[in-house]
Amino acid sequence: MSIKIDRVNYNREKRVLINLILSTEFCDKVLPAAKDEYFELKYASTLIDWIKAYHDSYGVAPKGHINEMFEEHGHLLDRDIHEQIGSILQHLSDISDTDVHNIPYLIDIANDLFKEKHISLQNAAVDNYLRNGEISKAEKALANHYKDIEGSSRNFIAFNDDGFMRSVIRNMIRQQDPDDAFFMFSGKLGEFIGPIDRGWFIAYLAPAKRGKTTYMLDAAIDSIRQRKNTLIVSLEMTEEQLMQRYALAITGVKPEVEEYTTMVPIMDCEYNQSGECTKSECVSEDRLLHEGKLDTYDDNPEWEVCTECRGTKDFIPTSWKIPIKKNYISEGRYIKKVHRFNKFFGKYGRVVHMPSKTVTVADIRSEVDYLENTQNFIPDIIIIDYADLIKPDSIGEKRHQLDDIWEGLRSWGQERRVTIISASQTNRISADVDYLRDIHVAEDYSKIAKLDIAIGLCQTDKMKEMGIMNINKVVHRHKEYIQSHVCTVLQDISHQQSHLDSEFVMK
């Protein structure tokens, strides 16, 4: 057991040192609290001296300049220290493409490490003084309390802490501004769901085969486009299967397929299609609805959609499918197309496959720790496809096992300051409804209580033909919601386009 603890401490120490080198924000918060005695790694004091010297001189983290300091001063070091720092700098070179993310979580890591070392050293000093009969010195040592790093989650906050309250008020203002949100879904769906904050637990709820994986992948793509470090833990598909979907999602075309035409939905208004609209702005003089049946493009190729009232209560969103030609694209051009996207956003994503029902929440946590230690990739958002496929740690009734799994994910997300997005299957009576309600949750209703947002995915057979998905808020812990209010999302699932457009009725 002691060997394992030492290894974990070394990993934490190494993680703190690496991010002191790479992140100015982390330096600003943590460097004043960093003491040589808080580190067991022999080379730590040398690196801390170099980092402090650079930070004091220039006000920023040294980043790549640490190599210049190594070249200038390395010859003065003992051989083993020289080799160990050289190894750290090589690791920094290997992870140079990875930005430092989730600073609040890193501050918690440093704070916990420093506090543990402080208490350990304090206890050792007190024991020594007591053995020597130096009671007053022991009392003085006990009075030397550790001061938590500003910004850590371990502080006891006074209600009248003006600095903290200023930060709270700024965050209240920030949360009202979509442009300043930690994360948002794209399009009108993002406006409908609202801003999403760090540490929230979100889940898609849907019957079988309604696109839970597709929408989780879409969330991942939204996330990396917003330059958030995003990890997908796939418990169903292999990495290759999931990345095939990813390539199709970001390109919208299939490689090495002869030119073909596919029917794609675009936004229209129900009043326009039924002929009920009496507004002068309405572009159509005809109707699509005849004796309860809608015409198709083959029936009425000249049909004009109308979105004049879009964004008002007079617009009821629906779809109209039109033919879109997909041109042939060679393997080489397809690779270049994917490469262009990944050039800007690929470094923010990671994926790992872990077979369903073989891994616990603890196993997933361990894998994420390994990712951090080897690549310094610290997730902002973790997508788990999907939570019900995680192996329970406990024995007993299934609903109790699921409760433990979902509670474990929630507490892990809060601890790591990471947003977790997953999914759960609803019961059979939800298969043909226009919107999901909390009564549709399968197995264990208490899942709902763990979530910050539960997002319903609803699609009848008719909606599937029209390329429509109804999305509603089953639960929202931080925002007023009405379950029957839905956002209409247009999709072309044959090309992994789960969100071509979206709109909701203004109530």
Using an 8 Å Cβ cutoff, are 219 and 371 in contact? no
The 10s digit of each residue's pLDDT in 139-167 is 998 998 888 888 777 667 889 888 889 98
Tell me the pLDDT band of 433, cut-offs 50, 70 and 90: confident
Give residue 1's pLDDT band: very low, low, confident or very high (50, 70, 90): very low
393 and 338 share a domain?
A: yes
> Whole-model pTM above 0.85?
yes
Confirm if 262 and 382 have CB atoms less than 8 A apart.
Answer: no
* Gap between the Cα atoms of 345 and 351, Å rounded: 14
Which residues 6+ apart lie within 8 Å of 499 measured at CB? 185, 186, 187, 189, 218, 489, 490, 491
Q: Are residues 209 and 334 in the same domain?
A: yes
Per the model's pLDDT, the better-predicted residue between 155 and 365 turns out to be: 365
Q: Please, which pLDDT band fits residue 248 given cuts at 50, 70 and 90?
A: very high
Residue among 481, 394, 395, 407 at smallest CA distance from 444: 407
Is 299 in the same domain as 193? no
Residue 341: which H helix or E strand, with range?
A: helix 331-345
Domain closes at, from 60, 89, 116: 116
Average pLDDT over residues 266-284: 92
178 lies in a domain? no
pLDDT tens sequence across 8-35: 455 899 999 999 999 999 999 999 999 9
Judge whether 420 lies within some domain: yes
Place of tokens 């406990």: 394
Residues 220 and 194 in one domain: yes
Q: Is 155 domain-assigned?
A: no
| Mean pLDDT of the residues in the chain | 91
- Whether 249 and 367 map to the same domain: the answer is yes
Whether 207 shows a pLDDT value over 70: the answer reads yes
123 token code pair: 């206890």
Q: Which of 2-11, 425-434, 483-492 has the highest average model confidence (pLDDT)? A: 483-492
Half-sphere exposure of residue 74: CA atoms within 13 angstroms, side-chain side? 16
User: Which parts of 89-216 are beta strand (E)?
Assistant: 201-206
Minimal CA–CA distance to 389: which of 202, 209, 235?
235
If asked whether residues 73 and 204 sit together in one domain, one would say no
286-319, pLDDT tens digit by residue?
A: 889 888 789 999 999 999 999 999 989 999 999 9
Residues 312 and 445 in one domain: no
Please identify, among 116, 145, 175, the residue that sits at the C-terminal boundary of a domain.
116
Q: Which domain holds residue 58?
A: 2-116
Pair 350, 487 in one domain: yes
Across 121-154, b (16+ Cβ under 10 Å) vs e yields ebeebbeebeeeeeeeebeebeeeeeebbebbee
- Comparing 167 with 272, the larger pLDDT belongs to 272
Angle subtended by helix axes 2-22 and 44-58, to nearest 10: 20
Task: Note whether residue 163 is domain-resident.
Answer: no
Is 348 inside a domain boundary?
A: yes
Check which CATH number belongs to the domain holding 210 and give it: 3.40.50.300
Q: Which residues contact 420 (CB under 8 A, 6 or more apart)?
A: 200, 201, 202, 381, 382, 383, 384, 409, 410, 412, 413
Residue 140 belongs to some domain of the structure: no
Both 283 and 343 in a single domain? no
Q: What is the pLDDT of residues 333-346, one digit of tens each?
A: 999 999 999 999 99
Rg (CA), the chain: 28
Q: What is the pLDDT of residues 76-105, one digit of tens each?
A: 999 999 999 999 999 888 887 788 999 999
Percent of the chain with pLDDT over 90: 72
Last residue in a domain, options 326, 345, 362: 326
Structure tokens at 108: 């918690």
Could you count the other beta carbons within 10 Å of the beta carbon of residue 386? 22
Has residue 167 been placed in a domain? no
249 and 357, same domain (yes or no)? yes
Residue 319 and residue 303 share a domain: yes
Q: Number of folded domains in the chain?
A: 3
Nearest to 184 by CA among 198, 192, 172, 194: 194
Closest to 413 measured CA to CA, from 436, 387, 389: 387
Same domain, 340 and 479: yes
Is 180 a domain residue?
Answer: no
